[in-house]
Amino acid sequence: MEEKVKKVIGDIEQHAVTTAEEAEQFRLKFLSKKGIIPALFEEFKSVDAEQRRKLGKILNELKTAAEAKFTAWNTQAPLQAGKQEGKGVSGPDLTLPPYPFELGSRHPVSIVKRRITEIFEKIGYTVSEGPDIEDDWHNFGALNFPADHPARDMQDTFFISPPGNPHPAHLLRTHTSSVQVRVMEGQKPPIRTISPGRVYRNETISARAHCQFHQVEGLYIDKGVSFADLKQTLYYFVHELFGKKTGIRFRPSYFPFTEPSAEMDISCIICGGDGCNICKHSGWVEILGCGMVHPNVLDNCKIDSLLYTGFAFGTGVERIAMMLYGIKDLRLFYENDIRFLSQFRPAL
Ligand code: DAH
């Protein structure tokens, strides 16, 4: 039997393959269940004790060598998939064109959110975030909405009650103004920050309203900040986002957390101010609410309202995306229709 084993060792040593097919034939011949090596092991069982020790060792070496050879062919040198008549070439064909990568596109809300963020980062604003699930204090109380005040009805709220307890402890934030409270509680002026994020309202879903959408809140607190600073900042923002020719106007308004408060309109960029369905034939579209931070809000957040003033503003991301892209139905943003989504590319 020793002779037999030595012959197999010789065969294996001399064995050379150039294709994957030949390597497989090698495996079948020597290593597979019905191959030569397992057969030798079978025969080995009936060898007498004296020969066993010596033969066992060579047999094991044979098996290891055969396996190592097979592994090396498969992992190191690339073998051709099949035989190529007359050619000794191996490896993949590098001249073949590559498979094209499927490129995704960004969601229009993400594109606009990012663009707004870039515009404010250029003038020194940081980005702050807060939780979607808020408590009453951060969403309403600290923002000068007294308990039971009708101003709370301005925003239809999803309340979250603990099981078995009818009194709501938390809610889904109705605006990102909640983040300005968190920032003021945690930082000292000067503060210059924007807070992009998702907000929720208990509204009937239609082409113009949804139960979820996105806002970007802005906040600037320092000594001597005035309404003129607010206007200049928003002029800059509108001109960067919509172009220098866009008309801007402020209308007096009411928010519990700002005094004085205003809403800002821009000239309709769809019809250029001539009047269309988007601007309801007025030539103007409201894009944000703003005002000087109410002294009560500063005091609620432990910022001295005699020393500091500030402005805040809040704008809807979907509303802006609708203007920029001429989208007429708000629901499209949340239907995940690939035909809609694939039209948007990052560059705006
Ligand atoms: N939070 C307001 C809303 O969701 C928007 C807003 C108005 C934010 C005035 C402000 C502001 O910071 O000053 O309707």
pLDDT digits (tens, 9 = 90+) for 155-180: 889 999 877 777 777 999 999 999 99
pLDDT exceeds cutoff 70 at 339: yes
Please give the distance, rounded to the nearest whole angstrom, from the Cα atom of residue 121 to the centre of ligand 1: 20
pLDDT recorded at residue 348:
45
Are 264 and 242 in contact, with CB atoms under 8 Å apart?
no
Beta strands in 98-235 (DSSP E): 126-127, 133-135, 159-160, 170-172, 191-200, 212-222
- Left (φ > 0), alpha (ψ -120 to 50) or beta: where does 124 sit? left
> Does the predicted TM-score (pTM) go above 0.85?
no
Nearest CA to ligand 1 atom 5: 314
pLDDT digits (tens, 9 = 90+) for 206-250: 998 999 999 999 999 999 999 999 999 999 999 999 999 999 999
Please give the distance, rounded to the nearest whole angstrom, from the Cα atom of residue 336 to the centre of ligand 1: 28
pLDDT exceeds cutoff 70 at 76: no
What span, in angstroms and rounded, lies between the C-alpha atoms of 201 and 210?
A: 7
Measured from the Cα of 217, ligand 1's closest atom is: 12
Both structure tokens of 70? 């097979």
Are 112 and 317 in contact, with CB atoms under 8 Å apart?
yes
Please give the distance, rounded to the nearest whole angstrom, from the Cα atom of residue 216 to the centre of ligand 1: 9
CA 152 to chain centre: 32
Please give the distance, rounded to the nearest whole angstrom, from the Cα atom of residue 344 to the centre of ligand 1: 28
Pocket probe mutation, ligand 1, options 173, 180, 217, max atoms within 8 Å of Cβ: 217
pLDDT exceeds cutoff 50 at 272: yes
- For 47, the 3-state DSSP assignment is coil
* Helix, strand counts (H, E) of the chain: 11, 10
pLDDT recorded at residue 77:
59
> How many CB atoms neighbour CB 329 within 10 A?
12
Please tell me which residue, 214 or 50, carries the higher pLDDT value: 214
Please give the distance, rounded to the nearest whole angstrom, from the Cα atom of residue 290 to the centre of ligand 1: 6
* Residue 142: band (very low, low, confident or very high) from pLDDT cuts 50, 70, 90: very high
| Mean predicted confidence (pLDDT) in 143-166 | 84
Please tell me which residue, 190 or 154, carries the higher pLDDT value: 190
Measured from the Cα of 218, ligand 1's closest atom is: 12
pLDDT digits (tens, 9 = 90+) for 290-322: 999 999 999 999 999 999 999 999 999 999 999
User: What average pLDDT does the structure give for the chain?
Assistant: 90
pLDDT recorded at residue 192:
98
Both structure tokens of 222? 């320092």
Residue type, 268: C
- Structural domains in the chain, CATH included, are 2-88 (no CATH), 108-341 (3.30.930.10)
Pocket probe mutation, ligand 1, options 229, 255, 286, 309, max atoms within 8 Å of Cβ: 255
* Residue 57: band (very low, low, confident or very high) from pLDDT cuts 50, 70, 90: confident
pLDDT exceeds cutoff 60 at 83: no
Are 312 and 322 in contact, with CB atoms under 8 Å apart?
no
What span, in angstroms and rounded, lies between the C-alpha atoms of 20 and 74?
A: 8
187-220 as b/e, with b when 16 or more CB fall inside 10 Å?
A: eebebbbbbbbebbbeeeeeeeebebbbbbbbbb
CA dihedral 40→41→47→53, nearest 10 degrees, is 110
% of the chain exceeding 70 in pLDDT: 95
Nearest CA to ligand 1 atom 7: 289
pLDDT exceeds cutoff 60 at 265: yes
CA-to-CA separations, 48 to 45, 51, 58, 136, 200, in angstroms, rounded: 8, 6, 16, 88, 84
Ligand 1, residues at Cβ distance < 6 Å: 175, 177, 217, 255, 258, 289-291, 312-314
Both structure tokens of 247? 């008309």
- Sign (positive or negative) of CA dihedral 263, 268, 270, 276: positive
pLDDT recorded at residue 49:
81
pLDDT recorded at residue 78:
60
